[in-house]
Structure 1
Amino acid sequence: MKLSTLTRIGLLTCVGAALPSLFGCLDHPLKPVEYDKAQEEQETVDLAVNKDVDILFVIDNSGSMGEEQGTLAANFSKFIEVLERPKVKANYRIGVTTTDNGNPQCNGTTPEGGKLRLTSCRSRESEFTFTGTNPQTVKFDEACASVCPDTLANLDTIPTSTEDDPEPKSRAWIESIEGKTNLPDGVSTTQAFQCFGPQGINGCGFESQLESMWKSLQLMEVSGSPNFGFRRKNAILSVVIVTDEADCSLDPDYGTIFDPNGNRVFWSDPNSNFPTSAVCWNAGVKCEGGPGTYTSCDPVNKDVDGNEGVPDDQAVLFPLSKYIDLLQTIENDKQSRVPG
């Protein structure tokens, strides 16, 4: 897993806003590397190439994501083509969760809280209706029916075992190991993702991309969780966040920042009846310059009164260090293992 600095701002440029570009990048040809060598004695060195990769998709299921989910599903074949190229032949697992981790303003949703979710979008038509607009926004045809046939409405995985659980069970992820999938005969991994990937648009509009990722990775170590056993000890870990909003990973101890009876310090309009997603941006980002165009924006800890640079335990949004530390711990553990 390659680890780069995470920022809440960086999420705005993730897959949700640039899916065609993402998959276009995957079409670049592999370039051979030429070496010059000089040696007196011929030696043979065996290199172990790690082809195992575990891919976690954290997909935004809020009201504005219908088009993006449909685009992701429609273009997913390009992603799979890269994994299955003769020169790659990856042994991969693909799991999906949502950005819904709950929020004081989202009492009507059913948060996944990082749990892997593997049900056909054809069986969840009601989830592709967003009632927060007038008229209602309906995206079932665009995000699901256009890419997932009705014949796959009850699609499920066939039982397999894992490193941690030798008993064959239907798992909450797609996998292809040495060319063998955990899908019914005649169903490709691309077809499966086109049905499993679309998550609907009735999730919480205050998206917790980072906290959902964190919880999902933690649940992979919890026996009885649908996530258990997904992450293999020696596999490369990749996390793909598909979203069109800034992160809003709220520390529940500070839920009052959304309360109309609170101080409204992060509200874009303190006179409004309801908070907007601007609360999430204002509570976790500091920008220089402006108004209008800003010269820079960076993540920052803020307390309930808007004070900046406070200790992690006073930050209303969970600090980025929480997520960086987890990913770095996973990376360090993988690097300490000897292949073979």
Structure 2
Amino acid sequence: MRAPLALVLVPLLAGCPDRTIAGVPVEQGTVDVKDIPAVPRRDVDILFLIDDSLSMKEEQASLKANFGRFISVLESIEGGMPNVHIGVATPNMGTSATDGTKGPSIGTCVGSGEGGKLRRLPGVGAAFLSDRDDGAGGRVRNYTGTLTEAFAQIAEVGNNGCGIEQHFEAMKRVLDNNPENIGFLRRDAYLAVIIVADEDDCSLAKSTLFDGNANDPTYGDRTNFKCTREGIECDSPNTDLDQIGQRRDCHPNYNSTTLTSIDRYVDFLKGLKPDPRDVLVAGIVGDPGPFEVVKKGNVSVLKQSCMYNGPTDVQYAYPGIRMLDFLAQFPNRTTHTTICNEDLSAGMTQIAALLKGAFQDPCFERQLLDADPQTDGPQYACTVTETRYRPNMPNEELGVIPACDATKSRIPCWHVVEDNVHCSYTKTNPHLKLVVERGGQVPAPDIHVRAECVTAPSTSGPQI
């Protein structure tokens, strides 16, 4: 069963024995849930899949300009910058399809395109950026200058790529034992895939999408619209997509014979890791709606779903229906934001926060409730439990961790403290994090800590 696109707020677990949140009325708020490893892992492989089609010049510039914000969030992880591999690829797969066929070369759509090869660092030749702890307080890097400067070089993908963007298939080619990318993917590292694109995925099962008269002036529009007609269905109204008008309740066509099933790529990614929860996915993509088909001359085309005033011109993006469905198949390990924003800083920070959350990130992202304002000092209502992390199974609950008293007489115990450095990326005031005191004891590597803390009532409506 497919995961829904909507996110659901976690209700309070009232009535559970020995749980400090049990006595707080539900109307006070919801809960902020943290699930963090007791022993932090430090490795993450990050793949940026950057659209290199004609309309992406300004979005690429904003991505590079805001990469420093992305890195600053990772640097705020306790223990500092994790051990990162960072690679960049494009969705340019030319006219190739997963059935092994290739269509005729059309403009910038040629053969297998870039074939899932990571962009190499100019002058160095490395297929990806590597920045890791040397174990002695320093870093081992395969680039010169700053990480932001090095990323800007490999992220310079241009805007002359194929206009039929095969985001998912390119991602698979990058990660599926590609000899050009040896060493990028580490078995025990987290894997993060970040798609930056202004058009939806059109990963081809058959190259027949390119059939037609390439000399026809309308060939490009007709071919592009085939991605929509063959890959998307809308329930309201449930009419042929060639007919003009707005539609609602649009979703991927799960029975398409021209486009490759999204499940192929979800299953592939999750199968790369012993535990599929080690895979994170994110997107800076087009808004899903409005979804409208209009006429361009006598040809049906998909209308843009969002736009913004860029530095040089009005920029557009198109509904990312397949991409958003793909992202939704990774619950609690995904986030997305619109590409229709001149400044991508908020989006890059949001994605970095997702990655940070996979590490030992004890920072609370919502304002916590002071459950007893009459008592000196904030009185936070939390339930903190120790669990055993089990791949492909629910975690095993081992027991409740008590709140620390003044002398920390019971170990382990928990308390909440302010940390305006490591938690600066959160939108709370004050910036708070969970601390578990263990008296020097080191837990087993499969032990996690789950905290559920009551949040203050929202003043701006429900949070989703």
- Tell me the distance in 2 between the aligned counterparts of 1:300 and 1:184: 43
Where do residues 52-67 of structure 1 align in structure 2 (5 Å cutoff)?
52-67=43-58
* One-letter code aligned to 2:201: D
The question of 1:260 aligning with 2:212 is answered yes
Deviation at 1:99, TM superposition (A): 0.7
Tell me if structure 2 keeps the 8 A contact 1:109–1:202: no
Residues 6 and 51 of structure 1: CA distance in aligned 2, closer, same or farther (over 3 Å): farther
Q: Which residue among 189, 194, 200 is the counterpart of 1:246?
A: 200
- 174-183 or 58-67, which moves further after superposition? 174-183
Q: Which residue among 223, 231, 252 is the counterpart of 1:299?
A: 252
* One-letter code aligned to 2:212: P
- Tell me the distance in 1 between the aligned counterparts of 2:153 and 2:4: 30
Tell me if structure 1 keeps the 8 A contact 2:232–2:251: yes
Tell me if structure 2 keeps the 8 A contact 1:106–1:205: no
* One-letter code aligned to 1:202: N
Once the two structures are superposed, residues 211-234 of structure 1 have per-residue CA deviations (whole angstroms, 9 ceiling, x without a partner) of 00011110xx35xx2211211111
- Tell me the distance in 1 between the aligned counterparts of 2:54 and 2:151: 21
Deviation at 1:6, TM superposition (A): 10
Name the structure 2 match of 1:164.
none
Deviation at 1:293, TM superposition (A): 2.9
SS in 2 for 1:65: helix
Name the structure 2 match of 1:327.
269
TM-score normalised to structure 1 length: 0.60
SS in 1 for 2:191: strand
TM-score normalised to structure 2 length: 0.45
Tell me if structure 1 keeps the 8 A contact 2:209–2:223: no
The question of 1:117 aligning with 2:119 is answered yes
Structure 1: gaps of 5 or more residues: 11-34, 37-45, 121-153, 157-169, 263-269, 302-308
Superposed CA RMSD:
3.2
- Tell me the distance in 1 between the aligned counterparts of 2:75 and 2:186: 19
The question of 1:180 aligning with 2:135 is answered no
Tell me if structure 2 keeps the 8 A contact 1:258–1:279: no
Residues 100 and 273 of structure 1: CA distance in aligned 2, closer, same or farther (over 3 Å): closer
From the two aligned structures, give the one with the greater helix fraction.
1
Name the structure 2 match of 1:50.
41
- Tell me the distance in 2 between the aligned counterparts of 1:329 and 1:215: 14
The question of 1:206 aligning with 2:164 is answered yes
Name the structure 2 match of 1:236.
190
Deviation at 1:206, TM superposition (A): 0.4
Q: Which residue among 206, 212, 227 is the counterpart of 2:181?
A: 227
Deviation at 1:288, TM superposition (A): 2.1
Deviation at 1:89, TM superposition (A): 2.5
Deviation at 1:261, TM superposition (A): 5.7
Deviation at 1:82, TM superposition (A): 1.1
- Tell me the distance in 2 between the aligned counterparts of 1:5 and 1:209: 20
- Tell me the distance in 2 between the aligned counterparts of 1:5 and 1:69: 30
Name the structure 2 match of 1:89.
81
Deviation at 1:73, TM superposition (A): 0.5
Number of matched pairs: 231
Deviation at 1:272, TM superposition (A): 3.4
Once the two structures are superposed, residues 154-186 of structure 1 have per-residue CA deviations (whole angstroms, 9 ceiling, x without a partner) of 4x2xxxxxxxxxxxxx6311121115242444x
Residues 82 and 284 of structure 1: CA distance in aligned 2, closer, same or farther (over 3 Å): same
Tell me if structure 1 keeps the 8 A contact 2:202–2:259: yes
The question of 1:77 aligning with 2:63 is answered no
Residues 64 and 175 of structure 1: CA distance in aligned 2, closer, same or farther (over 3 Å): same
Tell me if structure 1 keeps the 8 A contact 2:94–2:108: no
Name the structure 1 match of 2:365.
none
- Tell me the distance in 2 between the aligned counterparts of 1:240 and 1:176: 19
Residues 6 and 207 of structure 1: CA distance in aligned 2, closer, same or farther (over 3 Å): farther
Once the two structures are superposed, residues 272-313 of structure 1 have per-residue CA deviations (whole angstroms, 9 ceiling, x without a partner) of 344342211111110122553322111114xxxxxxx36xxx
- Tell me the distance in 2 between the aligned counterparts of 1:5 and 1:240: 19
Once the two structures are superposed, residues 174-210 of structure 1 have per-residue CA deviations (whole angstroms, 9 ceiling, x without a partner) of 121115242444x010110111112011110000000
Name the structure 1 match of 2:154.
196
- Tell me the distance in 1 between the aligned counterparts of 2:247 and 2:114: 35
Q: Which residue among 209, 218, 234 is the counterpart of 1:272?
A: 218
- Tell me the distance in 1 between the aligned counterparts of 2:127 and 2:3: 29
Residues 232 and 339 of structure 1: CA distance in aligned 2, closer, same or farther (over 3 Å): farther
Residues 173 and 283 of structure 1: CA distance in aligned 2, closer, same or farther (over 3 Å): same
